[in-house]
Structure formats: structure tokens, C-alpha cells
Amino acid sequence: MATPGLTTEGTVRALTSWSDDERMFRDAVRQFARKEIGPKVRSMDESGLFEPALLKQAFELGLMGIEIPEDYGGQGGTFVQALIAIEELAAVDPSASVIVDVQNTLVNNAVVRWGNEEQKRRWLPRLATDTCASYALSEAGAGSDAFALSTRAVQDGDAFVLTGRKLWITNAYEAGLYLLFATVDPEAGYKGITCFVLERSAAGFKVGKKEDKLGIRASSTCELILDGVRVPRTDVLGEVGKGYKIAIETLNEGRIGIGAQMTGLASGALSHAISYAKQRKQFGKSISEFQGVQMDLARMATDVETARLLVYNAARLREAGQPFLKEAAMAKYWASQVAETVASRAVEIFGGVGFTKDYPVEKFYRDAKIGRIYEGTSNMQMLTIAKQILA
């Protein structure tokens, strides 16, 4: 796919329109989100479970293997298309967006880029058609300090034996494959980190406690317990001791995915606020006729648009092979700020009913908080931006 908007200087102009293919793809995802996911959002939030039937539909629509090449059973799509899907899903249910986001921007991305041919043939068709995946990096002592891992991988002949515990792992409940990071040498620091692809059925492996969360409740977040799990050396992704490179580079791209997710969330909250403002009457007229409400909506719309432009600016740079670290951090930082602010203002526009579960904006408000925390906190994004602009 061509890269619209790329200038000779290597920067990207404001994205003002989609290509025909992108527009058609966006409309298909939007229809699926509104028609199939929309009616089930509240029940999934209350139960804390994502409906398996919806996950199956996501696979059937190709949403779980967007960038996987067609030769491996995927859609052969683009990174921008993956972000479009993430944004459109988040406008209806951020939980659904998270599941698709992790699958595409983290796991599939890593296997496509670092897997050898035999590994791609083994894993990519499954990831594209029926197997949800999880990205297991975080631990109790490894959050913002991502490489302070205590999970050990000890070589034993032609295999590694993994022991440890992972926390806050997204998609863990639904996953059949896990991209899991462990250290082969704690004394070596980040140079000991290695990436393994782990089957759910592996002996000694168990999905533990499922977290009871404030928001994105239908997106599973669980602990993983590894008790002497034997993983063949052939299931090392990339090179032994080079897992840090896989983690850093996938997370850099994953931040753009979170930016798309938070932009979609804010867009969804804004849409509900606009609709309600037109319907709600006070003092004999709709509240959308009051200047104060109009100003709130105008600020919200402007913030959403700036977040969207930052996200797709970073995405176009990535697709063009240009540096995008600063832009990815900016997109993630700003979109997460916007999501929380816009969702909060949406609750206020709804007034008292906005504070109840009878209307969708309170869920958007709860869902927004995680955006400033996972895949790099807002403070970590600002440090990254500062380092880039001061270099």
C-alpha cells in the first residue's frame, strides 16, 4: 500500500482523508462493532467476560490477523488498517479493542518480524484464524522498569525450563499462545532477556487469578504461573538474549495502538454526548443550544481530532520506514489524556444520569483511566519525548 501524505522531507502532512480501501475497511469494522458488539457491551462489562462468539466473529472477519501476510492465512493488510480497526472497536467497546490491539500490534507483529520461516508456518495461521494470543512481559517488580524480570529460563539440553510469575497480562484468559519474556542470566541485565512462544497446554503452566478491574472489564487481565515449564529451543523467538529488542520495538509500535484505542474511546464518548445534548431539554430548549454546552463539545471535538492526527501521523511514519519513537510517545500520551478528559466531560453533559450505568458514558470514563498506565505510563512517555527533543 502506498503511504499517503509522506513528504520528501520524511514528515507526514495532516491526514485529511482515507483511501478507498481504508474507508471500506473502516465501515465494515464500524458495522460489526455497532451491530454485533454494541448490544452486548453492558452484559460483558458486568460479567467481566468477553463473549467467545464475538471473538470467533472477529477471527472470521480477519480482525485478528490484519497484517499477517496472505501466505500465512492473514489479511495482508497494513498497520494503518490495524489502527483503524482498533479505533472503531474502541468507539463502541474499548475492551474489544484491547483484544484486537494486543493480537495485532504486539504478538502478530513480533512473530512476523522475528520469527523464522518454520515458526511463521507454525504460528501465524493459528493467530490469523482461531488462536488468541497474549503478550507476557510485566511482573510484580517489572512495570515501568520493564526489564527487571525475575522469571528465569534455565537451559537444559535442547530446551529451557521456565519458572516464575507474570502479572497483569492482557488476553491471558482467552489466549492459546503466549509471547513470554524471561531472563536466561539475571546478572546480564537486559542482555539476558529472551522471548519464548509458549503453548497454553504446556506442562507446569497455569493461568492464575483474573483481575477484577475498574474498566475494560471484558478484556481479561490475569497472572501467569510457570512451574518448571519446559520450552524447546525451537520456540525461542529471535535470538537468546535479544528479547529486549523485540520488547522495545513492539512496544514502541504498540503505543500507537493504545493511542488509536484511546482516540476511539474519546470519539465514542463524544458521539454519545452530542446525541444526548440534542435530545435533552431544559428551560424549553435542547441543551445543545446553550453556549456553555457548545463550547464543551467544541473543545472535546478538537481534542479528539488532534489525538487522531497524532496517532495516524506516527502510523504513516512507521509504514514509511521513518523514525517514529517521539511521535508514538506523543500519540500515546496525548490520546490517553484526551480520552480521560473527553469521557469526563461527556458524563457532565449527561448530568446526573451520566453517573449511572443506564447510559454508556460512565463506562467510557472508567475505561479511559488505563490509557495513562499500560504500555508505558504518561510519565514514561513524557520522558521519552523529552529525550528525543533534547538529543
375 is catalytic: yes
Torsion 88-50-67-320 (CA) sign:
positive
CA distance 142 to 169: 12
C-alpha closest to that of 155 among 242, 240, 244, 246: 240
CA distance 215 to 351: 21
**Which amino acid, one-letter code, is at 332?**
K
Query: Reduced to 3 states, what is the DSSP secondary structure of residue 319?
Result: helix
- By CB atoms closer than 10 A (0-12, 13-18, 19+), residue 54 is middle
| End-to-end Cα, the chain, rounded Å | 33
Q: Which three cell numbers stand for residue 136?
A: 507476557
CA distance 48 to 219: 7
What pairs with residue 166 in β-bridges?
Answer: 224
Known catalytic residues are: 375
